Chain A
Amino acid sequence: NAGVTQTPKFQVLKTGQSMTLQCAQDMNHEYMSWYRQDPGMGLRLIHYSVGAGITDQGEVPNGYNVSRSTTEDFPLRLLSAAPSQTSVYFCASSYGARGRNTIYFGEGSWLTVV
């Protein structure tokens, strides 16, 4: 059972480039989300999805797009990378709504924008 799998683990981008962070879960979870974590700070919600075809914005959505075409996959797209998007990105999933159900996290993707 792989859980939540994120790729790539590390990435360096130049300002203005675009890229996609991949996230897949094999637990048949309805809820998936993306967080970013900056040094010394907690995790801030970027986007989330309550099921295939349904996405919504979190706390810090600007500069990011998401889609949810399948239950398993929830990619995060950076449209035009900026140095302010240098961060660690975590994908997460849970069976039910967050406040009641256990959230499972991926191992993280370290992104540097130069």
Chain B
Amino acid sequence: LAKTTQPISMDSYEGQEVNITCSHNNIATNDYITWYQQFPSQGPRFIIQGYKTKVTNEVASLFIPADRKSSTLSLPRVSLSDTAVYYCLVGDETDYKLSFGAGTTVTVRA
């Protein structure tokens, strides 16, 4: 199970792009990278998942370099409602014991 490191917190303003980088130096060949978002007083929810290169959906983009030792979650044009904790998880289909680290607290200001 690859260990991940991400910043504790980030501040931004409405309309800006927010990029959160997660380091996972010992990522294994079969591991996928998944990001979750947690609003206050709610359970986390899935945002995006990728294996390599770039993945984009209606919420975010995920950039993964060729060596896959890091990944960057990109939130375009954030709004106040994007204020949340964002978690980076790395694992494959054999990882039963996934725990979430402290995540990155993103605060969007008007």
A residues adjacent to B (C-beta < 8 A): 4, 31, 35, 40-45, 48, 50, 56, 58-59, 90, 92, 96-108
Q: Can you list 6 A-B contacts (CB < 8 A)?
A: A31-B96, A42-B100, A48-B96, A99-B95, A100-B91, A103-B98
Q: Whose C-beta in chain A lies nearest to the C-beta of B2? A: A99
Q: Are B95 and A58 closer than 8 Å at their CB atoms?
A: no
For chain B, residues 57 to 110, give those with C-beta under 8 angstroms from any C-beta of chain A.
Answer: 87, 89-103
Determine the chain A residues whose CB is within 8 A of the CB of B97 once the complex forms: 45, 48, 58-59, 98
- State A56–B92 Cα separation when bound (angstroms): 18
Q: How many A-B residue pairs have CB under 8 A?
A: 77
A92 nearest in chain B by CB position: B43
Residues of A within 8 A of B1 (CB): 99
A105 touching B91 in the complex, CB below 8 Å, given contacts A44-B99, A98-B98: no
Least Cβ–Cβ distance between A41 and chain B, in angstroms: 6
- Asked whether A42 lies within 8 Å of B91 as measured between CB atoms, the reply is no
Which residues of chain A come closer than 8 Å to B43, judged between CB atoms?
4, 90, 92, 105-108
Contact residue among A31, A58, A108 (Cβ-Cβ distance under 8 Å from B99): A58
**CA gap between A97 and B96 in the complex, in Å:** 6
Q: Are B99 and A107 in contact (CB under 8 A)?
A: no
Given contacts A99-B31, A100-B32, A105-B43, contact A43 B100 (CB under 8 A): yes
Is B13 located at the chain interface by the 8 A CB criterion?
no
How many angstroms from the CA of A102 to the CA of B43 in the assembled complex? 13
Contact B49 A102, beta carbon cutoff 8 Å: yes
Nearest Cβ in chain B — how far from A16, in angstroms? 28
